[in-house]
Amino acid sequence: MTIISIANIKGGVGKSTLATNIAGYFASKGREVCLGDIDKQQSSQLWLGLRPPSISKIHSWPINYDHITKAPEHCDYAIMDTPAGLHGWRLKEVLSLSDKVIVPIQPSIFDIFASREFLNELTQAKKSRRFSLGIIGMRVDERTIAATKLKEFMQAIDIPVLGFIRDTQYYIQMAAHGFSLFDMSPARVQRDLEQWEPIIDWLNHED
């Protein structure tokens, strides 16, 4: 089993978007996937409840803010959505369970500032734990100065940049119906699938 956690101390950066779409990707490949959510808002679990029975099955991983347990043994991949402000014993529990940790960052000075210390903490934790760490730029409009600043920040730190997800309402529209990018007709989402290619390569790479 591979456990992938999506984490950032900052809220509203796209953690649930990544968690649900990663779960959707592995499910689309016929793998047994579990999706857990320790955020009190339970956005990923809401998405799971909206998911039509006619598309690839994703199982619920029964964890919550105060009760972080191991993933069900039958899962090939377990995806964990985490809350803003993740720290202390919860962060330690998440990292102890994780094989891979992805940190989403949006192109704003507030997100970059908040993420910097969190990434430093993860880098230190990585010295004594076994997880792989990567970052993804979220809601990135290539034409903006903010996007340029985000890329400059990412290039200055020694953490793999897995890719950039464009700023589009399409993810919100899909989520409202329990869909992931990988449940859609490829012709409709070709540009977005191309953005996901390096992310998927990293997810599939065995360290």
Domains for the chain: give ranges and CATH numbers. 2-104+167-204 (3.40.50.300)
Higher pLDDT, 155 or 160: 160
**134 against 107, higher pLDDT:** 134
The pLDDT of 115-135, averaged and rounded, is: 89
Q: Give the C-alpha separation, 97 to 61, whole Å.
A: 13
Model confidence over 167-206: pLDDT tens digits?
A: 888 899 999 999 999 999 998 899 999 999 999 999 998 7
Q: What is the pLDDT of residues 9-53, one digit of tens each?
A: 888 889 999 999 999 999 999 999 999 999 998 999 999 999 999
CA atoms within 13 A on the CB side of 92: 3
Candidates 89, 75, 84; CA nearest to 36 is: 75
Report how far residue 193's alpha carbon sits from residue 195's, in angstroms, rounded to the nearest whole number: 5
Q: Is the pLDDT of residue 66 over 70?
A: yes
* DSSP conformation letters of 138-165: EEE-TTSHHHHHHHHHHHTSSS-EEEEE
